[in-house]
Amino acid sequence: MKYGVAIIGAGNIAKEHILGYLNLKDRCEIKAICDVYIDKAKSLAIENSLKVDIVDDYKLLLKRDDIDIVSICLPPSLHQKVTCDFLKENKNVLCEKPMASSLNEAKLMIDQAEKSTALLSIVSQNRFKKSIMKVKQMLDSKIFGKIVYTRVNSMWYRGDNYYTLWWRGTWEKEGGGCTLNHSVHQIDLMGWLLGNPISIYSTIKNYLHANSEVEDTSLSIIEFSNSIAQLGVSLNDMDEKQEFFIQCENASIAIPWKIRCMKQKENGFPIRDEEKEKYYNNLYNELDEIEIEGHSAQILNFINALDKKEDLIVSAQDGYKALEIITAIYKSSRLKELVHLPLKEDDEFMSKETIIKKMPRFYEKSKSVENLKDGITL
């Protein structure tokens, strides 16, 4: 049986989903594309030589028997409603990051998935990178000893024009700034590689984006049960590096992959342990590599999970966990206090109303356009 697929939202990221499904032509077929701007949906179909139904209202697709999988490629504030509507009809949903624009919304999505027979997964395509997959296996095997300190750089450059798109740059529609929409990738990886944090202290600022209410910079200290991490996020870094540096008992490792090992002299000062570095480098090089990366690899895993050939690598709970860390970052920066995790169910920052009401508006969003030209870089 081939899975029928619908793409909801024909903007920037929809192209990556289409590519992923087209790579699996023997297992799925795109049946429909939906966008409120019908011309965007039509162009996307033409660009990809797809003969599919084009609709401007996703509700027209809810009851279609030939649709089994739905990719939600909409702005964050629409993820919950549209995902839940499809889950109610037992359609499997792959929803773009961030899972939702508040934790209460994310909870509704998980509850609805549990009530249905369908699978819900949240996009976190950076898990599906060769180096990340290998480091994950090595960390899980405990080969480096205890993890003690991690430094994460989530550095990006987006100019002020980025925020003219209508849904970006407000607490209401985007749900947050670069901590939510850019570093969600690194935050998800941090949870996946290091486990669940127990507390967070953060500060957020907006230095250079005058058409945006939300932050363009954040810095957090994140404590795990046996280690700490620092997370720096910026939209003002023209070098645009996303990096992990993990200090373990036996080695300091970096992603992109690099390893450094030291021995101590009698006085405690270091000498390089090249033999150990060679040993770890050999182990790394011998590990099997995933053949495809990114969205296409996540879509392959999603379809394999539906066919019960593999475990789902990014669950709805994983999407929730990443959003919970981000919410704790916002809460800590707002209250200027240490926030303990997990957040309690009655925590006021679970709700979107609190986020909208209490988070600082760094600037007023005064310019807005319905669509921006040019594609995006991932």
- Closer residue to ligand NAD in complex, CB, 13/300: 13
- Amino acid type, 179: T
Cis status, amide bond into 256, omega within 30 of 0: yes
Where are any strands of DSSP class E within 83-171? 92-95, 120-122, 147-155
- Closer residue to ligand NAD in complex, CB, 20/76: 76
**Is the alpha carbon torsion for 189, 24, 305, 13 positive or negative?**
positive
CB of 351 to ligand NAD, least distance (A): 20
CB of 125 to ligand NAD, least distance (A): 5
CA dihedral 86, 90, 96, 99 (to 10 degrees): 90
- Closer residue to ligand NAD in complex, CB, 4/176: 176
Q: What is the number of the residue whose Cβ is closest to ligand NAD?
A: 11
3-state class of 336 per DSSP?
A: coil
- Closer residue to ligand NAD in complex, CB, 4/98: 98
CB of 281 to ligand NAD, least distance (A): 30
Cis status, amide bond into 98, omega within 30 of 0: yes
Q: Which residues bind ligand NAD (CB under 6 A)?
A: 8-13, 34-37, 40, 58, 73-76, 78, 96-97, 123, 125, 165, 181, 376, 378
Cis status, amide bond into 270, omega within 30 of 0: no
CB of 262 to ligand NAD, least distance (A): 36
Backbone torsions φ then ψ of 287, nearest 5 degrees: -65, 145
What is the rounded CA–CA span in Å between residue 186 and residue 317?
16
- Closer residue to ligand NAD in complex, CB, 125/227: 125
CA dihedral 203, 98, 176, 237 (to 10 degrees): 60
CB of 95 to ligand NAD, least distance (A): 8
- Closer residue to ligand NAD in complex, CB, 13/155: 13
CB of 276 to ligand NAD, least distance (A): 36
